[in-house]
């Protein structure tokens, strides 16, 4: 049974667990049948999941992919505590109570020619969703996806079949799914994983940016999701190269539907700095407007 909430923008849905795969370092990939959420989800949206009936607080989870034709959404998460541990115990055909899709998405059209997508850790899923949207809705663009992680990536990495002259020799590890879509990706880590760039994801981004000429730099815009420190570095990079940048903020949430104001951040607006709720006013903001990134 599904029903829209009173705002007519969110849905409470009993999602059916179709599959759940485990990867290294307690990472899980979950596929759910959620008709209303899949129909309305956009890159940057998330769902608020009830991990178990015995656990009162829900957990916010970014949507990694959405397939309205099959009524499916995909979620990627890591065990961090009791809630996500309970979620990892769910079996095929179990029902999971979710609220979604929640939040403001990344821009959905009018992309520049060279979108640069930067994901770190649990910020990787929205970048996959956005990359797929760009692939399905636009032509003659050259998106590039960078992902960073200090634990094993939640997919089997493979050498990319897409060569990039701007990237150092030997930095060849990629996400196979993106390669199959014809979208180049590269991986970074300080954990000495084979084929990965040994450094921060923003460092490899700057290597790539430095190889572009002035006209090419004007064709770049950045989209990013990940830990706050990484997003600050991404924002600094965008400022240095005068590049438009949207970021999806990570913040602890209680209600996740705008009622408790427990996830507020200070945002620059035309009428001055204002506290905005990450859950419904975000999670996506223009990096230049996030006060903590520009102070």
| Phi, psi dihedrals of residue 36, rounded to the nearest 5° | -70, -40
pLDDT at 149 over 70: yes
pLDDT digits over 237-280, tens only? 999 999 999 999 987 777 777 788 788 999 999 999 999 999 99
Mean pLDDT of 24-36: 96
pLDDT at 69 over 50: yes
Which of the pair, 56 or 211, is modelled with greater confidence?
A: 211
Domains and CATH numbers, the chain: 2-102 (2.40.30.10), 114-293 (3.40.50.80)
- Residue 188: name the closest of 206, 209, 208, 174 by CA: 174
Residue pair 83/54 in contact by the 8 Å Cβ criterion: no
pTM: 0.94
pLDDT digits over 184-226, tens only? 999 999 999 999 999 999 999 999 999 999 999 999 999 999 9
> In which band, very low, low, confident or very high, does the pLDDT at 96 lie, cut at 50, 70 and 90?
very high
Percentage of the residues of the chain whose pLDDT score is greater than 90: 89
What local confidence, expressed as pLDDT, does residue 4 receive? 38
Per-chain mean pLDDT for the chain: 93
| Phi, psi dihedrals of residue 291, rounded to the nearest 5° | -60, -40
What local confidence, expressed as pLDDT, does residue 219 receive? 98
């Amino acid at each position: 049974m599904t029903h829209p909430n009173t705002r007519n923008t969110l849905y409470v849905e009993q999602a059916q667990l179709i599959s759940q795969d485990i990867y290294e370092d307690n990472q899980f990939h979950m596929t759910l049948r959620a008709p209303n959420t899949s129909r309305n989800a956009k890159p940057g949206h998330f769902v608020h999941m009830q991990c178990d009936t015995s656990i009162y607080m829900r957990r916010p989870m970014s949507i990694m992919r959405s397939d309205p034709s099959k009524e499916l959404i995909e979620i990627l998460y890591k065990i961090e505590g009791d809630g996500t541990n309970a979620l990892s115990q769910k079996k095929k055909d179990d029902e999971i109570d979710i609220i979604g899709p929640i939040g403001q998405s990344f821009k959905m059209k009018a992309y520049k020619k060279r979108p640069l997508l930067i994901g770190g850790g649990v910020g990787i899923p929205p970048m996959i969703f956005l990359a797929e949207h760009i692939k399905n809705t636009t032509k003659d663009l050259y998106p590039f996806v960078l992902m960073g992680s200090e634990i094993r990536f939640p997919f089997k990495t493979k050498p990319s079949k897409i060569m990039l002259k701007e990237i150092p020799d030997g930095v060849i590890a990629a996400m196979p799914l993106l390669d199959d879509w014809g979208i180049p990706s590269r991986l970074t880590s300080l954990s000495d994983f084979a084929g990965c760039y040994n450094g921060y994801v923003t460092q490899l981004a700057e290597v790539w940016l430095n190889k572009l000429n002035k006209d090419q730099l004007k064709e770049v815009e950045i989209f990013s999701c990940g830990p706050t420190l990484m997003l600050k570095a991404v924002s600094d990079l965008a400022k240095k190269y005068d590049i438009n940048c949207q970021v999806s903020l990570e913040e602890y949430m209680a209600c996740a539907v705008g009622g408790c104001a427990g996830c507020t951040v200070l945002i620059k607006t035309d009428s001055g700095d204002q506290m905005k709720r990450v859950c419904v006013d975000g999670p996506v903001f223009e990096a230049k407007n996030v006060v903590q990134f520009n102070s």
